[in-house]
């Protein structure tokens, strides 16, 4: 019986991994991949080492190795798909951008806080008047909660929103010299500012892609497009960050929001007229 040393086996396995990853990716993309056993089959069949491996009795690729190959190939498959999707979204929504109106990072911060559970159209109506008089953090510090609440009431949840805006304004003055900070850790340290709001301000106000804005549209579309399986926005954000180039995160969140508003609506996705119909796996639950 031919003898294969442990080292020879390891080298063989590495070569298989390098040579056959591409085959595995194609198999997954074409939907011919069915189970882990299949990986062993295609790996062995397509490698130049087939003959030598065949001559060894009872060859079983170790499970951790198969899992490693599978994960690697799946990641690669997902990245290829994400690349195609990005190209398509750039074609369909070349000018996708933030629909909130603002003239400074602070105004954007205020508008983003107001946009929770409210449409951007309604927020823009409110801020059109609000920003005429209240532009900087110091404009807000002497404003009473009641007075601000009255001005933003039509955006809903106005008690909490007024508190968050006033606290953020005070903290920006006391801790950051009146300048909106431009790092995710500093922004999320402000009262009432979560990761989503911080990502909006960083991406649109400062041009910094430090995270992915995962709002209700992006969350829904990430699942329908097969980009994420996470059950909470923080997990979906990590999944999106893993497959898309960092420089495109801000654009992509706006493109997905636009796609969600126009075609992939929560209750009734309009797949027939959707411009990415041919690319989308339509994972609709
Ligand atoms: S094809 Fe359907 S499920 Fe996919 S993004 Fe378009 S509307 Fe949504």
276 CB near ligand 1 (under 6 Å): yes
DSSP symbol at 269: B
pLDDT per residue as tens digits for the range 115-138: 999 999 999 999 999 999 999 999
Please indicate whether residue 106, judged by its CB atom, sits closer than 6 Å to ligand 1: no
HSE-up of residue 186 (Cα within 13 Å, Cβ side): 12
Task: Considering the domain delimited by 216-273, tell me its CATH architecture.
Answer: Orthogonal Bundle (1.10)
Question: How far is 204 from 199, CA to CA, in rounded Å?
Answer: 8
Report the SS3 class of residue 264: strand
Mark 14-37 as b/e (b = at least 16 C-beta within 10 Å).
eebbeebeebbbebbeeeebeeee
State the closest ligand 1 atom to the C-alpha of 259, by its place in the atom list counted from 1: 5
pTM tops 0.85: no
Distance of CA 206 from the midpoint of ligand 1 (Å):
31
* Tokens (6 digits) for 194: 């979560």
pLDDT digits (tens, 9 = 90+) for 132-183: 999 999 999 889 999 999 999 999 999 999 999 999 999 999 999 999 999 9
Ligand 1 midpoint to CA 218 (Å): 12
Mean pLDDT value across residues 30-53: 52
Contact criterion met (CB below 8 Å) for 143 and 173 = no
The residue extents of the domains of the chain are 6-79, 105-205, 216-273
Please report which confidence band the pLDDT of residue 55 belongs to, taking 50, 70 and 90 as the band edges.
very low
- Do 170 and 141 contact (CB within 8 A), yes or no? yes
Supply the mean pLDDT for the chain: 85
**CA pair distance 92, 105, nearest whole angstrom:** 28
CATH superfamily of 105-205: Hypothetical protein; domain 2 (1.10.340.30)
What's the count of helices (H) and strands (E) in the chain, helices before strands?
A: 14, 0
pLDDT digits (tens, 9 = 90+) for 195-216: 999 999 999 999 999 999 999 9
């Amino acid at each position: 019986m031919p003898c294969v040393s442990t080292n020879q086996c390891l080298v063989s396995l590495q070569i298989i991994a390098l040579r056959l990853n591409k085959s595995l990716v194609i198999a997954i993309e074409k939907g011919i991949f069915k189970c882990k056993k299949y990986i062993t089959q295609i790996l062995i069949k397509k490698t130049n080492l087939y003959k030598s491996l065949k001559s060894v009795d009872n060859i079983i690729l170790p499970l951790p190795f198969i899992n490693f190959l599978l994960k690697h190939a799946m990641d690669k498959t997902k990245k290829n798909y994400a690349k195609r999707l990005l190209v398509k979204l750039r074609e369909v929504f070349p000018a996708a951008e933030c629909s909130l109106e603002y003239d400074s990072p602070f105004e954007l911060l205020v508008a983003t806080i107001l946009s929770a559970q409210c449409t951007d159209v309604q927020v823009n109506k409110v801020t059109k008047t609000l920003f005429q008089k209240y532009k900087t953090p110091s404009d807000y510090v002497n404003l009473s909660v009641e007075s601000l609440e009255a001005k933003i009431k039509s955006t809903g949840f106005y008690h909490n929103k007024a508190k968050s805006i006033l606290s953020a304004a005070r903290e920006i003055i006391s801790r950051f010299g009146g300048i909106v900070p431009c790092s995710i850790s500093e922004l999320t340290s402000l009262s009432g500012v979560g990761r989503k709001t911080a990502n909006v301000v960083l991406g649109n106000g400062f041009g910094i892609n430090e995270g992915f804005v995962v709002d209700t549209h992006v969350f829904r579309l990430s699942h329908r497009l097969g980009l994420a399986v996470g059950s909470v926005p923080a997990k979906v954000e990590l999944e999106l960050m893993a497959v898309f180039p960092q420089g495109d995160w801000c654009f992509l969140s706006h493109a997905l929001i636009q796609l969600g508003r126009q075609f992939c609506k929560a209750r009734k996705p309009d797949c027939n007229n959707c411009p990415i119909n041919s690319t989308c796996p339509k994972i609709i639950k």
